[in-house]
Chain A
Amino acid sequence: SQQGEEDPQALSIQEGENATMNCSYKTSINNLQWYRQNSGRGLVHLILIRSNEREKHSGRLRVTLDTSKKSSSLLITASRAADTASYFCATDGVNFNKFYFGSGTKLNVKP
């Protein structure tokens, strides 16, 4: 399976701190995406980084990609209680229309 794997499985921080989540995957990719899931709901797309990009920003989110190590990280700066959710990375692999997800990082931001 080329499923991505997030690390850590769970993360608990105080409001205002930064949160970093990591993702490792197994095969070549066209792009890697990060999603967020609030408890019991569907996933929401956060950011996409292409295989030829190394870093991307969107608001308080910063994503890095290292294709030589087959890994990515998601940094949420100045976290808020509302950032409490599970975060998943998804990779597309050979078939760019088919996405594989890891088991996610559960982030708890304490007010």
Chain B
Amino acid sequence: DVKVTQSSRYLVKRTGEKVFLECVQDMDHENMFWYRQDPGLGLRLIYFSYDVKMKEKGDIPEGYSVSREKKERFSLILESASTNQTSMYLCASSSDRLDSPLHFGNGTRLTVT
């Protein structure tokens, strides 16, 4: 079974802090994704990566950056956290096959105060 592990379930940070959210998958998947989920807005794609060191912006990349130095790990970075980045962050992975589903981690609930 695919396992996608997010390093923290809950995180509280202060405005202006640099925040790292880590995600690791154990199925050698090519693709990895970061979404944020907010009530009434569903899941919105922040960034995704289709290979090591490769990344593409999603719908809401502003205020975020990502890093993928190894195939199994995809990090989301908030350069200077702001209160409007308080949200649930979900990491997912998928293989390159056309019908490959997304496999999600359990999410990190980030609160920025």
Contact = CB atoms under 8 A, between A and B. Distances in A.
Interface of A: 1, 3, 30-31, 33, 35, 40-45, 48, 50, 88, 90, 96-104
Interface majority SS (helix, strand, loop, mixed), chain B: strand
Nearest to B31: A97
B48 A42 contact: no
Contact of B90 (A42, A45, A48, A50): A42
Contacts of B45: 98-100
Contact of A101 (B35, B48, B109): B35
Q: How large is the interface on B (under 10, 10 to 19, 20 to 34, 35 or more residues)?
A: 20 to 34
B87 interface: no
A97 B42 contact: no
A41 B102 contact: no
Nearest to A92: B98
A31 B99 CA distance: 7
